[in-house]
Structure 1
């Protein structure tokens, strides 16, 4: 009886030990599963936090470089400033057509272009046939001269009386001829530009076949 009691006690202890071990295993397994589940919940949160941090560091996600935008804005501001400067100083341009014939002109006599089409800035004086620069800068001038019938005509665009570009026309056989020039020159305020006959007894045809034009291209 004593031996039987000892064996029964040993079996009972063994069952309790196995149960404790199984329970411990179950607990360990459960803890691991719960840990994994918890990690599954935590991991997306960590990813979202990382993405938020990335957006915080680089807020421009559209593919545009803020430095390029800044450079473009600066260039635009410079152009606007130059445009305002040009407008503030005022536009200078003129165009005049010759309607009357001008005969028997002397050397260095101004050719007159009486029909003024435009004269912004008031620099052209049709009664004198001269343009007086109201502002310093780079200008472009163009002139076209038609000769009378059977006439050889020498003329020139002149600045302050100095020839810059010569114009020539030679007509014969009862016909007219026409010559022209275009120049880009730098002028100071007050400089005078005119189209002049460079020969004696000059003869220039009018009737809107001869012209003189100019404009300010850039301020200095």
Structure 2
């Protein structure tokens, strides 16, 4: 009985050991399979990672190419911007040059218009002078004819009919003057009966004491700023213009009679500024006028100068800003003025 139980125990033990051995082998196989499976999965994952890395490297390279293209495009855009800036700068310079040219052309046009008005005034004045001289000559001739006719000294063929031409007038006047006032005439009146004697006859015709009275006075009514080089001071208020020799458009004295004249000018500088002007005759400076304001609270200064000069008929005298010195502001309100008058005639 005991042997059977021992054998049974033994058999059971052996069965149990065999079973345990089988289980261990199965577990090892399972673990091995699991490890192999994990390795396979890791290999697959590694392959996927390599593919992803390769794709990312390609994308990185594409990004670098794109970045390079963008940098090149940015450089090109910067170059275009610089060109546009230079073009804009050149355009501004061109506009400035055109503006300066337009201003110069405007000044030339204004000067041409002033010259045209001056010439028109001169032509009108000469025309009026000619008409006046002709009228005086005709009246004198009529008086001489009446006196000669009354004395029975005028031949019927020499009587004037209406208006006579200038040669006939000159010859008749000279002949009549020689006959009726020969004891008072100098030899220059008795040379001949041609038109060369006309200037002397004109002086003889002009009655004594009829010398023109010429004087003017003008001032600036308002302040000026931004005066340009050699710009004429526009004296706009004329308080005296005896002889009508001061042109209110040109702001210039136009000499109507050759003689010795006095011209004077006063200026007031702007506050804390200085100004230099000059009295000029036909563009040539005669005297300078300087007013130099100080830096105190009321920094104005008054300048004055005058000149005595010979002035021929047709010459022009005006006041302008000095070309190289002085500021650009001038005070008006009757502080800045220009005046002149005839001392004596040299005609």
- Same fold, judged at TM 0.5 (above): yes
- Partner SS for 2:226: strand
Aligned residues: 137
Match of 1:186 in 2: 310
* TM-score (norm. length: structure 1): 0.59
Unaligned runs of 5+ in 2: 1-206
Q: Whose relative contact order is higher, 1 or 2, with alpha carbons under 8 Å and at least 6 apart?
A: 1
**In 2: Cα distance, 1:170 partner to 1:129 partner:** 24
More strand by share: 1
**In 2: Cα distance, 1:108 partner to 1:99 partner:** 20
**In 2: Cα distance, 1:123 partner to 1:108 partner:** 22
Deviation at 1:119, TM superposition (A): 0.2
More helix by share: 2
RMSD: 1.7
Is 1:161–2:283 an aligned residue pair? Answer: yes
Deviation at 1:209, TM superposition (A): 0.8
Q: Which has the larger radius of gyration?
A: 2
- Partner SS for 1:119: strand
Match of 1:118 in 2: 240
* Residue among 207, 212, 215 paired with 1:93: 215
Question: Measured at CA, do residues 127 and 203 of structure 1 come closer, stay the same or move farther in structure 2, by a change above 3 Å?
Answer: farther
- Partner SS for 2:313: coil
Deviation at 1:199, TM superposition (A): 4.0
**In 2: Cα distance, 1:204 partner to 1:148 partner:** 5
Is 1:213–2:335 an aligned residue pair? Answer: no
* Residue among 309, 313, 328 paired with 1:202: 328
**In 2: Cα distance, 1:135 partner to 1:199 partner:** 29
* Residue among 157, 160, 176 paired with 2:300: 176
Match of 1:73 in 2: none
Deviation at 1:182, TM superposition (A): 0.8
* TM-score (norm. length: structure 2): 0.38
